[in-house]
Each structure stands twice: as C-alpha cells, then as structure tokens.
C-alpha cells in the first residue's frame, strides 16, 4: 500500500480551510489543518509534509513569521511553502514572501485548478524523494552485508543487486517523466530546481550501485548524501 503524502493547510478562518480541502481532496492525499502559526509549528514537530499552504494574514503570528520559524528548523527548512493572501500590496509584499522562503505566492481569489496543479507537483516530488530514500536504505543494507549471502537461504548478493537496480530504474524513469512534464508545462523555477536536485541524487545512487557490480570497481562505495 502506497503511503499518502501530508499537506499542511494553515489559515485562521475555518471557511478558508474548508475551501482548500474541497480543492485539494481530488489529490487523494492527507490534508492536515492548522488554524494558527503556532498550531502549524506544533504539527511540524511530529509529522513530515510534502508542502505547506500558508495564509499570510493571521492574527498573532502571521505567515511571514511562521515561515521564518519553519526555515530555521533543520527538520522543516526544505519543505516547500506556498503563501496565500487576500491582500495584494504590490511587488514589495510579494518579494517579502519569497524572502521568507516561499516557493510560490498566490493572491486570493485563486484559480482552484492552478492551485491543485502546483500542489500536485510538490506532492509528486516528495513521493519521489521518499522512494529514493527507500532505495538508499536497501543499498546500505547490501553494503553492510559485506557481500555475503543472507542467512536462511535468502537471495545471493547478485540477486539483491539486480533487484536494487530494477527498483532504482523504475524511480529514474518516473523522475525523467516528471522532468519532461515540468518542462512542457513551464512550471515554477522552484519546482524545476527541486526536480533537478532529485535527478542528481538519483545519478549519484546509480553510480554507487554500478560500482558494486562485479568488475566495475573495488571496495564498497559510499552512499550519496540525502541532504
């Protein structure tokens, strides 16, 4: 069963949260509500999120301050933030949103289809990163095995390498398709950059895996960093 990604919705108005849920329900992911910046930061302490939709105008801790806290935390600094605002103060206000770490800045009322499409891109990138981490974990297990067959009649190292290679190939194919889709749709620069980063990590993992094949190198390579 494929685990669903979590999307954090932050807005002090219940009707706005309800509207966001209606728009994003078609993505079939887990939608988590937060009615304040403080509540959002609390949710981020325990759960991992694919993307955050953050209202700018909130009493107490506003969206800019909330984003600043999110970006200061090592655990959450890389989560994409899409700012939503009902007030347009011009380029300076928009620049402040990007300076706070937002990957996008959308004024209300917004096109539901556009918002859903933007969120879906970051959800897909998140899922690809999760798959990549799983492949890296399998590779580490193989490296720790020291090239010996597993106990209890499990697969030989060659069989494990073949399985890892096949799984990695599937992720590579999906990442390539996603990159082409982003190019075709002239997606946001942040989404394109994130996809490129994912492809670089895949390339590093492929090189490490190829080096384990007989006759392609000596010694066990280091697994590429997941940062």
**Overall domain count for the chain:** 2
* 24 and 84 belong to one structural domain: yes
* 132 and 103 belong to one structural domain: no
Cβ neighbours of residue 14 under 8 Å, at least 6 residues apart?
35
Would you say the pTM of this structure is higher than 0.85? no
Structure tokens at 211: 């080096």
Going by the DSSP 8-state scheme, the letter that residue 149 receives in this structure is P
Query: Which of 80, 110, 140 finishes a domain?
Result: 110
> DSSP H helical segments within the chain, as ranges?
14-24, 37-46, 63-72, 91-99, 112-144, 157-184, 189-212
Domain containing 52 equals 6-110
Residue 226 lies in a domain: no
Phi, psi angles (nearest 5°) of residue 90: 95, -175
* 70 and 154 belong to one structural domain: no
From first to last of its 227 residues, what are the pLDDT tens digits of the chain? 558 999 999 999 999 999 999 999 999 999 999 999 999 999 999 999 999 999 988 998 999 899 999 999 999 998 999 998 876 666 666 666 667 777 888 888 888 999 999 999 999 889 888 888 787 777 777 766 655 444 444 455 566 667 677 777 767 777 777 777 666 555 566 666 677 767 777 777 777 767 666 554 444 444 444 44
Query: Which of 92, 110, 128 finishes a domain?
Result: 110
Supply the CATH number for residue 27's domain.
Answer: 3.40.50.2300
Say if residues 54 and 67 touch (Cβ distance below 8 Å). Answer: yes
* 99 and 10 belong to one structural domain: yes
* 20 and 105 belong to one structural domain: yes
* 51 and 134 belong to one structural domain: no
* 10 and 78 belong to one structural domain: yes
Question: What pLDDT score does 225 carry?
Answer: 45
Query: Which of 110, 134, 152 finishes a domain?
Result: 110
Residue 224 lies in a domain: no
Rounded to whole angstroms, the maximal C-alpha distance in the chain is 67
Residue 106: burial class (beta carbons within 10 Å; 0-12, 13-18, 19+): middle
* 89 and 54 belong to one structural domain: yes
Query: Taking Cα atoms as reference points, which of 6, 20, 90, 16 lies closest to residue 51?
Result: 6
Residue 223 lies in a domain: no
Question: What pLDDT score does 41 carry?
Answer: 96
CA distances from 140 to 42, 88, 222, 223 (A): 32, 49, 9, 7
* 56 and 104 belong to one structural domain: yes
* 125 and 105 belong to one structural domain: no
């Amino acid at each position: 069963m494929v685990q669903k990604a979590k999307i954090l919705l932050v807005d002090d108005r219940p009707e706005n949260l309800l509207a966001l849920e209606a728009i994003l329900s078609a993505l079939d992911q887990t939608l988590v509500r937060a009615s304040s910046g403080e509540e959002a930061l609390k949710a981020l302490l325990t759960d991992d999120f694919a993307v955050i939709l953050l209202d700018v105008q909130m009493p107490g801790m506003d969206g800019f301050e909330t984003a600043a806290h999110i970006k200061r935390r090592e655990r959450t600094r890389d989560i994409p933030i899409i700012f939503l605002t009902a007030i347009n103060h011009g380029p300076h206000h928009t620049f402040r949103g990007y300076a706070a770490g937002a990957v996008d800045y959308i004024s209300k009322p917004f096109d539901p289809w556009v918002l859903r499409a933007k969120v879906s891109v970051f959800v897909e990138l998140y899922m690809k990163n999760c798959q990549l981490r799983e492949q890296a974990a399998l590779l580490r297990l193989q490296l720790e095995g020291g090239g010996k067959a597993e106990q209890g009649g499990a697969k030989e190292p060659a069989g494990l390498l073949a399985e890892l290679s096949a799984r990695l190939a599937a992720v590579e194919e999906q990442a390539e398709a996603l990159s082409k889709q982003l190019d075709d749709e002239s997606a946001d620069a942040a989404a394109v950059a994130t996809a490129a980063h994912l492809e670089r990590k895949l390339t590093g993992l492929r090189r490490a895996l190829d080096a384990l094949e007989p006759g392609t190198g000596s010694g066990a390579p280091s697994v590429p960093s997941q940062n």
